[in-house]
Amino acid sequence: EAQVTQNPRYLITVTGKKLTVTCSQNMNHEYMSWYRQDPGLGLRQIYYSMNVEVTDKGDVPEGYKVSRKEKRNFPLILESPSPNQTSLYFCASMATGAYSNQPQHFGDGTRLSIL
């Protein structure tokens, strides 16, 4: 089954404690992206990656890091989380090139609470 898998689904942690949210896709998609969803703000793009070792900032990259060492994985790293990063996070992937008009496939989300 084609899917985007995020882990963990829920996490409560404290300010300053480094955390990583993993994202993996099994569709061989070149493009992957991270979003955060906040009430009244919709989805805002944090980072995206066009392919292995190619990443770029979205609209709200401050406080986040990403890496793309393998095509299927795109982890989101919060080096020193702060309460304003409490949010619902989504990873997504998409085919590109000849399939560039295809929709994104989303994971089920990770709810992060930073105390």
Partner 1 sequence: AQSVAQPEDQVNVAEGNPLTVKCTYSVSGNPYLFWYVQYPNRGLQFLLKYITGDNLVKGSYGFEAEFNKSQTSFHLKKPSALVSDSALYFCAVRCTSGTYKYIFGTGTRLKVLA
Interface ranges with partner 1 (CB under 8 A): 4, 31, 33, 35, 40-45, 48, 50, 58, 90, 92, 94, 96, 100-101, 103-109
- CA 18 to chain centroid, in Å, comes to 16
Closer residue to partner 1, CB minimum distance, 2 or 14: 2
How near is the Cβ of 35 to partner 1 at its closest, in Å? 8
CA angle 61, 107, 62 (to 5 degrees): 10
| Calpha distance 64→101 (Å, rounded) | 28
| Calpha distance 63→82 (Å, rounded) | 8
Closer residue to partner 1, CB minimum distance, 43 or 77: 43
- Please report the beta strands in 53-109, taking only residues with DSSP state E, as ranges in sequence order: 54-57, 65-66, 76-78, 87-94, 105-106
How near is the Cβ of 80 to partner 1 at its closest, in Å? 27
How near is the Cβ of 43 to partner 1 at its closest, in Å? 4
How near is the Cβ of 90 to partner 1 at its closest, in Å? 6
Closer residue to partner 1, CB minimum distance, 11 or 43: 43
Alpha carbon distance, N-terminus to C-terminus of the chain: 36
